[in-house]
Structure 1
Amino acid sequence: MKTVVITGAGGILCGTLAKALAQHGYQIAVLDLKKEAADAIATEINAAGGKAIGFVANVLEKESLEAARKQINVQLGTCDILINGAGGNHPLGTTSQSFLHEEDLLNTTEGFKTFFDLDAEGISFVFNLNFIGTLLPTQIFSRDMIGKKECSILNISSMNAFTPLTKIPAYSGAKAAVSNFTQWLAVHFSKVGIRVNALAPGFFLTDQNRSLLTHSDGALTPRGTTIIAQTPMGRFGEPEDLISTTLYLCDPASSFVTGVVIPIDGGFSAYSGV
């Protein structure tokens, strides 16, 4: 039985992937910054007949990841597949408007941010969480894969790595770095038999973005309306929409596939708007 390590697995998207992989015979190391969130997903998996254990890990701290790896090796064996799911955005790396207008420089509204007001620490946090938070777990867990067969790494990029979204330069830049790193690492690991690929999800409703895209009654916000208008399939993604591609990229059926970043976005990245 292969062991899958998933970071950020206490969240909606990676929690769904954890449960789906368990249903297909993988044993799951559920990693999250919040132990209770990891344990909740592991409990669901075990109740459904799968095998999973929750572990706490900070993807920005090598010592934390090393400690998790030691526990996983003892309780589940060495890592065969790593899914780097931890990531996210932060308001300090986000502008208030999509476009800069000259009068914005005179706006004194509390919390209003132009490009010139972006916080360097906030931008660093977003970049580190998404890129360094992918690089460090890979350094720690890919060591387990050397000398084994049918091992792979699956990163989580974003469709905004192809064309950046307005307002979120830090997140867009970080996900572009994840895509580039995926290609670089696929080449670097090609001689030791480790495949490296990435998913590029479009717009999925999560705890992080739900209030930005929908009102409390479920109606779309202006930004949510714009997104749906730019999505040819006319809806947000469901967590389950990520499952089939994940299973394919983790399976030996994709043994000659490495270095790809696959958009799962309802056509958003293919649509020019006209």
Structure 2
Amino acid sequence: MKELEGRVALVTGAARGIGAGIAQRFAEAGARVAVLDLDAVSCADTVAAVEAAGAKALTLAVDVSDTSAVDGAVDEVVRQFGQLDIAVNNAGVTRDNLLFKMTEDDWDTVLRVHLKGAFNISKAAQRHMVAATYGRIVNLSSVSALGNRGQANYAAAKMGMQGFTRTLAIELGPFGITANAIAPGYIDTEMTRATAERMGVPLEERLESMAKTTPVRRIGYPSDIANAALFFASEASGFVTGQTIYVDGGRRL
């Protein structure tokens, strides 16, 4: 039997990158997957990958920082699929800058999407999970939670995700719900490639440099994060909650 056979998962920020990788891996493990992102059209490739894995997909366009929109989206997932067992809070943005250049909007946008988004999804999802006395919440943190130059907003948001995760574990554990976080290191995605472009560094040079500073001598890929997410979403992690696992090849920062 596949690890997530009969389960329904919701993944935010699933149009590309890590979110898309998680959605595909969950589908391969037997889950029906709700693919959430700002733009439904951008989710087409993820939906195709989910369906190619033999699973059903549902696409929903939603701003995770909009409470009423999130409530409606989660209710729609349950209406379409009959249940919600797994929620992955992956949606995120970057607005990098040194503190003295960082604007109030840079700060607010990053914390709103990461933290308020995770709050909104988790709060809406837990209503259904508590009723079912079963649930898995997986939050995406980052190695940047440990501090990273030019990312005061992102670091604060990602460390906040770890505290949020721990608190969810304490509050929701009695209802059969676990909450865990994954802190990725350098993962090859559109977002990290865009960072290299902003830095004015050739992409291949950037990838090679990051690989050399990682003990396992390679960069990470969305599939690396998806495998960790699958563990946290499965029955195998039933006695694991409130934890943050760093999936970074041993590098940290």
Q: Do they fold alike, i.e. is TM over 0.5?
A: yes
Per-residue displacement from partner, 1:66-97 (whole Å, max 9, x unpaired)? 22123212211221110001012114xx12xx
Following TM superposition, by how much is the alpha carbon of 1:252 offset from its aligned partner in structure 2, in angstroms? 1.1
TM-score by length of 1: 0.84
Which structure has more relative contact order (CA 8 Å, sep 6+)? It is 2
Specify the alignment match of 1:191 in structure 2: 174
| Partner Cα distance (2:49, 2:100) in 1 | 46
Specify the alignment match of 1:16 in structure 2: 21
RMSD (CA atoms): 1.9
| Aligned-residue identity in percent | 28
- 8 Å Cα contact 1:21-1:247 kept in structure 2: yes
Specify the alignment match of 1:242 in structure 2: 225
Following TM superposition, by how much is the alpha carbon of 1:139 offset from its aligned partner in structure 2, in angstroms? 0.9
The answer as to 2:106 corresponding to 1:122 is yes
Q: Which moved more, 1:164-173 or 1:64-73?
A: 64-73
- Count matched residues: 246
For 1:45-194, list aligned pairs within 5 A.
45-91=50-96, 94-95=97-98, 115-161=99-145, 163-194=146-177
- 8 Å Cα contact 1:186-1:194 kept in structure 2: yes
| Partner Cα distance (1:140, 1:267) in 2 | 35
Per-residue displacement from partner, 1:120-155 (whole Å, max 9, x unpaired)? 111111111111111111111111101324411000
Specify the alignment match of 1:36 in structure 2: 41
Pick from 215, 218, 224: which aligns with 2:203? 218
| Partner Cα distance (2:75, 2:168) in 1 | 24
Following TM superposition, by how much is the alpha carbon of 1:216 offset from its aligned partner in structure 2, in angstroms? 8.3
Per-residue displacement from partner, 1:37-75 (whole Å, max 9, x unpaired)? 224311332233211111111100011112212321221
Structure 2 portions without partners, runs of 5+: 1-5
The verdict on how the C-alpha distance between 1:257 and 1:124 changes in structure 2, with shifts beyond 3 A counting, is: same
What is the identity, as a one-letter code, of the residue corresponding to 1:196?
A
Q: Which moved more, 1:137-146 or 1:63-72?
A: 63-72
Specify the alignment match of 2:3 in structure 1: none
Structure 1 portions without partners, runs of 5+: 96-114
| Partner Cα distance (2:225, 2:106) in 1 | 29
Following TM superposition, by how much is the alpha carbon of 1:182 offset from its aligned partner in structure 2, in angstroms? 0.5
What is the identity, as a one-letter code, of the residue corresponding to 2:8?
T
Pick from 31, 46, 63: which aligns with 1:26? 31
What is the identity, as a one-letter code, of the residue corresponding to 2:242?
G
| Partner Cα distance (2:169, 2:49) in 1 | 33
| Partner Cα distance (1:11, 1:44) in 2 | 11
Specify the alignment match of 2:237 in structure 1: 254
TM-score by length of 2: 0.90
- 8 Å Cα contact 1:213-1:220 kept in structure 2: no
| Bigger radius of gyration among the two | 1
Per-residue displacement from partner, 1:94-131 (whole Å, max 9, x unpaired)? 12xxxxxxxxxxxxxxxxxxx32321111111111111
The verdict on how the C-alpha distance between 1:129 and 1:231 changes in structure 2, with shifts beyond 3 A counting, is: same
The verdict on how the C-alpha distance between 1:190 and 1:264 changes in structure 2, with shifts beyond 3 A counting, is: same
What is the identity, as a one-letter code, of the residue corresponding to 1:9?
A
| Partner Cα distance (2:209, 2:48) in 1 | 38
